[in-house]
Chains A and B, each alone.
Chain A
Amino acid sequence: MKKFIFSSITVLFLISTGSVMAEEISVGSVTPLTGKLAVYGEGFQQAMLLAADEINAAGGIKGNNLKIVFEDNNSTSKGSVSALRKLITIDKLPLIFGPASSSNFLAVCPIAQDNKTILLAAESAAAAITKCGSYVFRVFPSDLLQGVGVAELTSSLGYKEVVLTYVNNDWGVGLAEVFKAEFTASGGKIIDELPHGEGKTDYRSEILRMKRHNPKAIVNLTYIKEGATILKQAYETGLNVQWLMGSASKSPKLIDLAGKASEGVIGTYPTFSQETPQYKTFKAGWEKKYPGKKTPVFGEYNYDMVKLTALALESAASDSSDDIRAALIKVSQGYIGTTGDKSFDESGDVNASYGRWTIKDGSITDYK
């Protein structure tokens, strides 16, 4: 009896996988469905599934249904590595959507590159991802673009001389380099630049040095906690300047921590228009599939990633990863998705447009 059950299960399994292979084109996704990023992971998954449903309803890819094989990574780098290895070696998928959070993504990108598997990111911003390799793409703008954004903001506000400070890690240093190159090229002058440590609670010495030059504006490329502490302690030491910041500090938490010291900060952030027909289609589709649910953080980017992938699979000469890669680059040129122009450049990055934010009366608003 036992033997019978076992063999029937095996037969059923064979039939089911057989039928899957005939009608489906599968891609993988390493998604945080458990762990600390699970609150976001569910939204990513829903946005991806929405895109897949729309593709399949419109006839699928070359007549086959698109299927996304989700693997949980427990929100960790270790989990991401084993999830990706499974999708590459067991499921043998040529294209995989990478995990959220830059550190998790950076942990897996060399594996994908070595295995010639295409890896796409929808929410990882670290500049280092640009150098991951030729099989790695992202539909989310790199942090490096922010350096340019802040430089433009500084010049457009009429500040010719600024003090530059940045968080002393790969992200901050990279961002500062881009800012410097861009700002000095446009005729700006950096009076003094100094890194500040990540996660410190006392930045008074740093502030004192910034103050020494009596600057009118200080460009502060940092995170929320560090940003808030600096703003607060600068206020206490009577340093009264225009603070210019990036998008990593744009959070209500900054106002919670720094209080009135955060008033008047101006910054940039990557944005896209919610008035385009593409966005309206997404929004309508979302409300139909998930009535009453708010669109998730980065949901639009996940949606675009799946849509673009489907186009590439449709036009690829074969299902080999090299053909898909070539097709992906080709279809992306001039592709306008929910989040704007998704044309990949030679390093697999996209461009972005930047909005401006400011803090007024204790809340974040658009700077006009």
Chain B
Amino acid sequence: MTSYYAQLLVNGIIAGSIYAMFAVGLAMVYGVFKFINFSHGELITWGAYLTWMFSSSPFSLPVYISVVPALLITVGIGLAQDRFVYRPLRQSNPIAILIASIGLSYMLRNGIRLCWGSDLQTFDLPLSTGILLSGIYITKIQILMVLSALLFFSILYFLLTCTLLGKSLRAVSDNIELSAIMGINMTKVTWTIWVLASVFAGTGGILLALDTSLDPMMGMNSLIKAFAAVLLGGAGNVWGALIGGLFIGIAENISVAFISPDYKDFISYGLIFLLLLFKPRGFFGIAGGVR
């Protein structure tokens, strides 16, 4: 029976590392630009669908190669979001930006439907039984998910703490006007944020699709989990997003031992509700700022 709970914990860590990958971009965009990007979920979906497109005919590339053009295009979409929608709206009412991001999310999601239809799609990977480690099953893709999250967050840590770009990014999130006056290159910082958000979301989406399957709603469903993670960690806090993501993943999966699995999404929704009521600034208590 211990293996049952151990398996639940492992499932939680796997799910949590992917939620964290989704949450970090959301947290960074909020940290600097101070708005919730609803179309963040669509970067997840596009990353996954583009990889799927390049790996099936007529391209028929191996999956690990199709990831490259797919992520490049996803980054392009992320940058285009900023260039054509968010930058022109930067000085306007926050509600306008929020509505624009919701509109953008619909547009990008229906773009997926238009290109590939609403039907469920899967990567044509050979099916195999997972690896059995002391009573716990884990598939190769799931190992890859956890490793990717580790690698990406390590790179992010290095970038934010050891490079000038990372330092300027943190400075900008502290005070955008003052940073500009101090001569920090705003374009470069903006680009970095969108590239990071897109790469994290896109990669997470690809891994999620490899593990399960693709459908146009996958980004939207994951976005709710990412919201909960960001709220838990404190908006704008990158490390909070990581811990928040893991916490939600684990809590959700452990809950399965007590409530019907079909209602496990209840955990993240319930958490969003409680946090907004009692701890709107998250458990790390930092409002804004990429830390």
- Residues of A with Cβ closer than 8 Å to B? 168, 194-197, 199, 201-206, 208-209, 212, 225, 229, 232-233, 235-238, 257-261
Q: How large is the interface on B (under 10, 10 to 19, 20 to 34, 35 or more residues)?
A: 20 to 34
Verify A237–B130 contact, CB threshold 8 A: yes
User: A205 and B264 in contact (CB under 8 A), knowing A225-B120, A236-B139, A257-B122?
Assistant: yes
- Tell me whether B11 is interfacial, beta carbon within 8 Å: yes
Among B4, B15, B217, B262, chain A packs the most CB atoms within 10 A around the CB of: B262
Segment of B97-105, B162-170, B253-261, B276-284 engaged in the interface with chain A: B253-261
Verify A197–B262 contact, CB threshold 8 A: yes
Verify A208–B122 contact, CB threshold 8 A: no
Taking CB atoms, residues of chain B closer than 8 Å to A204 are: 11
Verify B120–A209 contact, CB threshold 8 A: no
Taking CB atoms, residues of chain A closer than 8 Å to B132 are: 238
Taking CB atoms, residues of chain A closer than 8 Å to B211 are: 202
Bound form: Cα–Cα A232–B11 in Å: 16
- Tell me whether B137 is interfacial, beta carbon within 8 Å: yes
- Tell me whether B7 is interfacial, beta carbon within 8 Å: yes
User: A201 and B212 in contact (CB under 8 A), knowing A195-B260, A195-B262, A236-B128?
Assistant: yes
Chain A nearest CB, measured from B19 CB (Å): 12
User: A236 and B218 in contact (CB under 8 A), knowing A201-B212, A208-B4, A208-B7?
Assistant: no
Taking CB atoms, residues of chain A closer than 8 Å to B127 are: 232, 235-236, 258-261
Taking CB atoms, residues of chain A closer than 8 Å to B128 are: 236
Taking CB atoms, residues of chain A closer than 8 Å to B215 are: 199, 201
Bound form: Cα–Cα A195–B132 in Å: 27
Verify B262–A238 contact, CB threshold 8 A: no
Taking CB atoms, residues of chain B closer than 8 Å to A259 are: 127
Verify A205–B253 contact, CB threshold 8 A: yes
Verify B262–A237 contact, CB threshold 8 A: no
Chain B nearest CB, measured from A210 CB (Å): 9
Pick the contact of A208: B8, B120, B130 (CB < 8 A): B8
Verify A205–B129 contact, CB threshold 8 A: no
Verify B212–A257 contact, CB threshold 8 A: no
Bound form: Cα–Cα A196–B256 in Å: 12
Chain B nearest CB, measured from A206 CB (Å): 4
Chain A nearest CB, measured from B10 CB (Å): 10
Bound form: Cα–Cα A291–B215 in Å: 41
- Tell me whether B60 is interfacial, beta carbon within 8 Å: no
- Measured CB to CB, the nearest residue on chain B to A206 is B261
- Measured CB to CB, the nearest residue on chain B to A207 is B261
Among A194, A204, A229, chain B packs the most CB atoms within 10 A around the CB of: A204
- Tell me whether B213 is interfacial, beta carbon within 8 Å: yes
Give 18 A-B pairs besides A201-B213, A205-B256, A208-B256 with Cβ atoms closer than 8 angstroms: A194-B261, A195-B262, A199-B217, A201-B212, A201-B218, A202-B212, A203-B261, A205-B8, A205-B264, A206-B262, A208-B8, A229-B213, A232-B127, A233-B212, A236-B127, A236-B130, A237-B130, A259-B127
- Measured CB to CB, the nearest residue on chain B to A233 is B212
Among A208, A209, A257, chain B packs the most CB atoms within 10 A around the CB of: A208
Taking CB atoms, residues of chain A closer than 8 Å to B122 are: 257
User: A208 and B11 in contact (CB under 8 A), knowing A201-B215, A238-B130, A260-B127?
Assistant: yes
Verify A238–B212 contact, CB threshold 8 A: no
For chain B, residues 122 to 149, give those with C-beta under 8 angstroms from any C-beta of chain A. Answer: 122, 127-130, 132, 137, 139
Verify B130–A205 contact, CB threshold 8 A: no
Chain B nearest CB, measured from A262 CB (Å): 10
Chain B nearest CB, measured from A214 CB (Å): 11
Among B7, B253, B261, chain A packs the most CB atoms within 10 A around the CB of: B261
Taking CB atoms, residues of chain B closer than 8 Å to A206 are: 261-262
Pick the contact of B129: A196, A225, A235 (CB < 8 A): A235
Taking CB atoms, residues of chain A closer than 8 Å to B262 are: 168, 194-197, 206
Taking CB atoms, residues of chain B closer than 8 Å to A235 are: 127, 129
- Measured CB to CB, the nearest residue on chain A to B14 is A204
Taking CB atoms, residues of chain B closer than 8 Å to A168 are: 262
Taking CB atoms, residues of chain A closer than 8 Å to B120 are: 201, 225, 257
Bound form: Cα–Cα A197–B263 in Å: 8
Bound form: Cα–Cα A206–B212 in Å: 14
- Measured CB to CB, the nearest residue on chain A to B213 is A201
Chain A nearest CB, measured from B210 CB (Å): 11
Can you offer 13 A-B residue contacts whose CB atoms are under 8 A? Answer: A195-B262, A201-B215, A203-B261, A205-B11, A208-B11, A229-B213, A233-B212, A235-B127, A237-B129, A238-B137, A257-B120, A259-B127, A261-B127
Bound form: Cα–Cα A79–B88 in Å: 42
Verify B213–A209 contact, CB threshold 8 A: no
Bound form: Cα–Cα A66–B230 in Å: 67
Taking CB atoms, residues of chain A closer than 8 Å to B7 are: 208
Taking CB atoms, residues of chain B closer than 8 Å to A237 are: 129-130, 137
Bound form: Cα–Cα A168–B122 in Å: 23
- Measured CB to CB, the nearest residue on chain B to A225 is B120
Chain A nearest CB, measured from B52 CB (Å): 13
Chain B nearest CB, measured from A238 CB (Å): 5
**Mask: chain B, 105-128; 1 = CB below 8 Å from A; 0 = not:** 000000000000000101000011
Taking CB atoms, residues of chain B closer than 8 Å to A260 are: 127
For chain B, residues 9 to 57, give those with C-beta under 8 angstroms from any C-beta of chain A. Answer: 11, 15
Chain B nearest CB, measured from A108 CB (Å): 25
Verify B130–A209 contact, CB threshold 8 A: no
Bound form: Cα–Cα A196–B253 in Å: 15
Chain A nearest CB, measured from B5 CB (Å): 10
**Mask: chain B, 171-214; 1 = CB below 8 Å from A; 0 = not:** 00000000000000000000000000000000000000001110
Chain B nearest CB, measured from A340 CB (Å): 33
